[in-house]
Amino acid sequence: MLGSRGKVLVAMSGGVDSSVTAALLQEQGYDVVGVFMRLGSPGETFDELEPYDDVDASLACDPAKIRIGKQGCCSINDAADARLVAAKLGIPFYVCNFKKDFGRIIDYFVGEYNAGRTPNPCVRCNDWLKFGKLHDYARQIDAEFVASGHYARIEAIGHGRDGLALKRGVDRDKDQSYVLFGAPQERLGEMMLPVGGYEKREIRAIAERLDLPVFDKPDSQEICFVPDNDYAGLVRRRSPDDVQPGRIVDTSGKVLGEHEGHQHFTIGQRRGVGVALGYPIYVVHKDPEANTITVGERDELKSAGCRARETNWFVPPETVSDWTPCTLKIRYNAEPVPGRVRRTGDDELEAEFEEPQFAVAPGQAVVCYDGDLVLGGGWITEAR
């Protein structure tokens, strides 16, 4: 009987992955409820909808009243697409107003850039909203599970904490286990990731078979709250006093030029540095206190390892108290590389790479794997 397997809240972003997530769970007999997360992107209003906080999380979505931003995973088109898919599947569809909570993510993003680090807001969004606040909302509507369209898997294993493990997605090109590393281990039993066992092409084929209107929709590539990918522009608007001109120096300290604010640069950046030395140069260091950018050659970006804090483990922490062989992923679009990891404190880890890695950036996450299994990870504080 439909719904006999329990109620599932599906975070529907309007993309093909979350749409097929809802469809697969419905086919499996779950009582599916679709939710679109109102985050407060540029140009978004939703003025006609009552605030989430005022109506105890029971917001019916009127598609005629949806007006939000222009890009990313929470745009006006995405909201309309999510509504169309929900109507096609015949499932309830609601809007959750997380605008206030999403402001915390934007503040984090701005704060990290001002501190000279390179943030990853998508990981924070998953930790704080999709598998944080959204679980609170799920409990209010008596949903047992929260599902999303991430390419990762949750599977029962014979060991580990609570017998559940987070694993890489079957489609290696789309694997998103990296951005889920911060999900609390105790949440795994409440999380569903149905598309993680499929290749992307299979997901599109399922969407086409079910005549879902998003079967050929391109994947979102942008951060939803950063218009035109102008990160520094956002930081300047949110904290104008913190973005100031400073010096560009080489590794000996020689002044080579001036920049408009260290927030315009990331570790490893080559294009747009603003000075020419007759050979390729890269941003190798940022000093937010002195407001300087240090440039150098590519070899000066190599790191033997890194340290990280705010760790989260999916295996008993004591099993990684000594050096543990693993593979290490230092940014979302990088492949895991061989190395080893050890826990150096209640909330710290140290990682070493078999071969030096390029542009290890503080502010990004380092995630540790044993084959497909996610051991855990943390936020990089320094490269070594």
**Do residue 44 and residue 133 come from a single domain?**
yes
Q: Is residue 20 part of a domain?
A: yes
**Do residue 257 and residue 139 come from a single domain?**
no
**Do residue 145 and residue 205 come from a single domain?**
yes
Total tally of structural domains belonging to the chain: 3
* For the ranges 35-44, 56-65, 155-164, 370-379, the one whose mean pLDDT is highest: 370-379
Q: Is residue 92 part of a domain?
A: yes
User: pLDDT over 90 for what percent of the chain?
Assistant: 68
**Do residue 358 and residue 287 come from a single domain?**
no
The mean pLDDT of 342-361, rounded to a whole number, is 96
> In the annotation, is 125 catalytic?
yes
**Do residue 248 and residue 355 come from a single domain?**
no
Per-residue pLDDT tens digits for 277-323:
889 999 999 999 999 999 999 999 999 999 999 999 999 999 999 99
**Do residue 289 and residue 334 come from a single domain?**
no
pLDDT of residue 158: 60
**Do residue 123 and residue 22 come from a single domain?**
yes
Of the candidates 61, 74, 122, 224, the residue annotated as catalytic is 224
**Model confidence at 372, in pLDDT bands (50, 70, 90)?**
very high
Of the candidates 61, 122, 125, 368, the residue annotated as catalytic is 125
Starting at the edge strand found earlier in the chain, the sheet holding 255-259 runs 255-259, 246-250, 292-296, 282-287
**Do residue 308 and residue 291 come from a single domain?**
no
Side-chain half-sphere CA neighbours of 211 within 13 A: 3
**Do residue 257 and residue 362 come from a single domain?**
no
**Do residue 292 and residue 305 come from a single domain?**
no
Q: List, in sequence order, every beta strand (DSSP E) within 6-136.
A: 7-11, 31-38, 93-97
pLDDT of residue 122: 86
- Residue 343's nearest CA partner among 314, 371, 309 is 309
pLDDT of residue 77: 76
Q: Indicate whether 188 pLDDT > 50.
A: yes
- Cα-flanking dihedrals φ and ψ of residue 36, to 5°? -105, 130
pLDDT of residue 59: 36
**Model confidence at 222, in pLDDT bands (50, 70, 90)?**
low
> In the annotation, is 224 catalytic?
yes
Q: Is residue 68 part of a domain?
A: yes
Q: Is residue 135 part of a domain?
A: yes
Domain boundary among 296, 312, 340: 296
Q: Is residue 238 part of a domain?
A: no
Q: Indicate whether 55 pLDDT > 90.
A: no
**Do residue 73 and residue 208 come from a single domain?**
yes
**Do residue 29 and residue 138 come from a single domain?**
yes
**Model confidence at 41, in pLDDT bands (50, 70, 90)?**
low
The mean pLDDT of 369-375, rounded to a whole number, is 97
**Model confidence at 247, in pLDDT bands (50, 70, 90)?**
very high
Q: Which domain holds residue 94?
A: 7-150+193-227
Q: Is residue 157 part of a domain?
A: no
What's 44's domain CATH number?
3.40.50.620
Q: Global pTM?
A: 0.87
pLDDT of residue 47: 38
Q: Which residues lie across from 383 on neighbouring strands?
A: 306
Sign of CA dihedral 374, 376, 378, 382: negative
**Model confidence at 96, in pLDDT bands (50, 70, 90)?**
confident
Residue with the larger pLDDT of the pair 257 and 53: 257
C-alpha span between 96 and 57 (Å, rounded): 7
Q: Indicate whether 45 pLDDT > 70.
A: no
Q: Is residue 186 part of a domain?
A: no
| DSSP per-residue codes, 100-159 | HHHHHHHHHHHHHHHTT----HHHHHIIIIIIIIHHHHHHHTT-SEEE---SEEEEE-SS
The mean pLDDT of 248-256, rounded to a whole number, is 95
- Tokens coding 265: 């640069």
Averaged pLDDT of the chain = 87
**Model confidence at 38, in pLDDT bands (50, 70, 90)?**
confident
Per-residue pLDDT tens digits for 271-287:
989 898 889 999 999 99
